Chains A and B, each alone.
Chain A
């Protein structure tokens, strides 16, 4: 069974802090993704990575950066947290190729005060 693990289920941080969200997958998947999900807005792609040390911007990358130093780990960084970054953050991974679905972690509910 595919396992995608996010480091925290709930997290509370203060405005201006640098925040790290970690995601690890155990199935040797090439592709990894970070989304945020807000009521009424659905899932929005922040960044994705198709290989180690490779990253691409998604639809809403502003205020975020990512790191993928190892294949199994994809980190999302909020450089200077703001209240509008309060959200549910979801990490996903998938193998390369057509007809390969994504598998999601449990999500991190992040509150910025």
Chain B
């Protein structure tokens, strides 16, 4: 079983739609969680950190459920510019400090 799994995608949605991505992780010792977006042939960029209480940044809402080991990202009122691959990242502290584990990513295409 992979350590971090995401919806396989791709997701093709019309402009203005609401879309949700899911991510599950297997290591219960995971301590911090992030969503990154990656545009084609570019580097991953931090979208938002995910906190236990859930957090919102404009049209984006992230939720964490530690009991179910599940993270979600909700995008409301999708824009064409939201088209990208969304990566779920889990940080596990080990003897060396930080160990970042990346999910395979879910690709989103927002269509006009």
Binding site for B on A (CB under 8 A): 30-31, 33, 42-43, 45, 48, 50, 56, 88, 90, 94, 96, 98-107, 109
State how many angstroms separate the Cβ of A88 from the closest Cβ of chain B. 8
Given the known inter-chain contacts A42-B102, A56-B96, A94-B98, please indicate yes or no for A107 contacting B43, CB distance below 8 A: yes
Residues of B within 8 A of A (CB): 31-32, 34, 41-46, 49, 87, 89, 91, 93, 96-98, 100, 102-105
Contact partner, A99, options B32, B42, B43, Cβ 8 Å: B32
A54 to B107, CA, bound (A): 36
Determine the chain B residues whose CB is within 8 A of the CB of A104 once the complex forms. 43-45
Question: Residue of A at shortest CB range from B43?
Answer: A104
Q: Which residue of B lies closest to A50 (CB)?
A: B97
The reply to whether A43 and B96 form a contact with Cβ atoms under 8 Å apart is: no
Name the contact of B44 in the complex, choosing from A45, A90, A94 (C-beta under 8 A).
Answer: A90
- B49 and A99: CB pair below 8 A? yes
A48 to B98, CA, bound (A): 10
B96 touches which of A50, A98, A103, A105 (Cβ 8 Å)? A50
Minimum distance in angstroms from B21 CB to a CB of chain A: 15
State whether A106 touches B42 (Cβ < 8 A): yes
Instruction: Let me know if A101 and B97 touch, CB within 8 A.
Output: no
> What are the residues of chain A within 8 A of B93 when measuring CB–CB?
98
In angstroms, Cα B76 to Cα A88, docked, is 32
A45 to B34, CA, bound (A): 17
Contacts of B87 in A (CB 8 A): 43
